[in-house]
Amino acid sequence: MYELRQVAPNSYYIQSPAKIGLYRLSETEVCLIDSGNDKDAGRKVRQLLDTNGWKLTAIYNTHSNADHIGGNRYLQTQIGCKIYAPGIECDFTRHPVLEPAFLYGGYPCKDLRHKFLMAQESDALPLTPEVLPAGFTLLPLPGHFFSMVGFRTPDDVVYLADCLSSKETLDKYQIGFIYDVGAYLETLEKVKTMQARIFVPAHAAPTEDIAPLAQYNIDKVQEIAGTILELCREPLGFEELLQKLFTHYGLTMTFEQYVLVGSTVKSYLSWLKDSGKLTAQFCDNRLLWQRG
């Protein structure tokens, strides 16, 4: 874990729970794509930088989930590097309590205010094409989170952040976190057609051919949508539907799973309603969902 692996002349990744991209800007300077899940990750990254005699100039965050920005604070404090995050992700990076609050839909209890869902705040600046190193391309990858992006480096490595999961992860956890299901599917269709020297997803093995994994993720989304529609043949409230989905997929309810899967299921409900496949009605002061 936290081994440096080279995938192109100047492009690397650090093997970690959420892969950290590293690009060598010169013999002595590098930038990072994300920073890992916590202070310990930041410390291990700094040790790696010191071992290679590299100076960190900037961290480019793909999005603001805690496992991608958790090392920001440590590295910024220790090194003084700049940090950039895209769109609304910049606000979440500066104010990390927004993540558990958004997921829970209110003030998050202590069970949700921990490093898995809430990183330490860091002084992030807006990520725009103008602040990227020469030759970098910013790739909008919406769907998983609000304004998530990826990057294509000058030596043709594409860092894909969380826009898809490994087959093993999907088979184990079944319902991966998605904020906007429609945008997520559009992103996967776009990624499926991409060409690159190599693709580096944050939660899957690097590969030269991303299309099969992108399709597997698409198929899983459609499967879950179909399951929701089948369960909603009769009117169901959200909590009842969530319980049936956990049972159907053999999942175990915890506070973290309740907000992550629950938020995702609400996103599926919105997508299915907006596409006319589900109807919503209020009955006895309950919001009920039913197949259209």
pLDDT tens for each residue of 40-78? 999 999 999 999 999 999 999 999 999 999 999 999 999
Residue 167 lies in a domain: no
List the one residue out of 215, 221, 220, 238 whose CA is nearest residue 287: 238
19 lies in the same domain as 140: yes
287 lies in the same domain as 151: no
156 lies in the same domain as 266: no
* pLDDT tens, residue by residue, 167-209: 999 999 999 999 999 999 999 999 999 999 999 999 999 999 9
Q: Are 29 and 54 in contact (CB under 8 A)?
A: yes
The arithmetic mean of pLDDT across residues 82-104, rounded, is 98
Last residue of a domain, one of 137, 162, 187: 162
Residue 127 tokens, joined: 């990520």
d(CA 75, CA 81): 7
pLDDT at 1 over 90: no
131 lies in the same domain as 244: no
pTM over 0.85, yes/no: yes
List the one residue out of 271, 257, 273, 269 whose CA is nearest residue 175: 257
104 lies in the same domain as 9: yes
Residue whose tokens read 């909008």: 140
156 lies in the same domain as 20: yes
Residue 194 lies in a domain: no
Residue 154 lies in a domain: yes
Last residue of a domain, one of 130, 162, 194: 162
Residue 138 lies in a domain: yes
Query: Looking at residue 278, which CATH number applies to its domain?
Result: 1.10.10
Residue 197 lies in a domain: no
Q: What share of the chain has pLDDT > 70, as a percent? A: 100
151 lies in the same domain as 277: no
Q: What share of the chain has pLDDT > 90, as a percent? A: 99
Task: Find how far residue 34's CA is from the centre of its chain.
Answer: 11
117 lies in the same domain as 248: no
Residue whose tokens read 């088979």: 171
Query: Looking at residue 119, which CATH number applies to its domain?
Result: 3.60.15.10
Residue 212 lies in a domain: no
The arithmetic mean of pLDDT across residues 89-93, rounded, is 98
Looking at residue 174, what is its pLDDT?
Answer: 97
Angle, in degrees to the nearest 10, between helices 211-231 and 255-274:
80
116 lies in the same domain as 235: no
* pLDDT tens, residue by residue, 243-275: 999 999 999 999 999 999 999 999 999 999 999
128 lies in the same domain as 40: yes
Looking at residue 34, what is its pLDDT?
Answer: 98
Looking at residue 153, what is its pLDDT?
Answer: 98
Last residue of a domain, one of 162, 184, 218: 162
Looking at residue 68, what is its pLDDT?
Answer: 98
78 lies in the same domain as 156: yes
269 lies in the same domain as 129: no
How many domains does the chain fold into?
2
* Domain enclosing residue 158, as ranges: 4-162
Residue 246 lies in a domain: yes
Residue 171 lies in a domain: no
- The set of residues, in sequence order, having a beta carbon less than 8 Å from that of 196 and lying 6+ positions away, is 152, 156, 157, 158, 208, 210
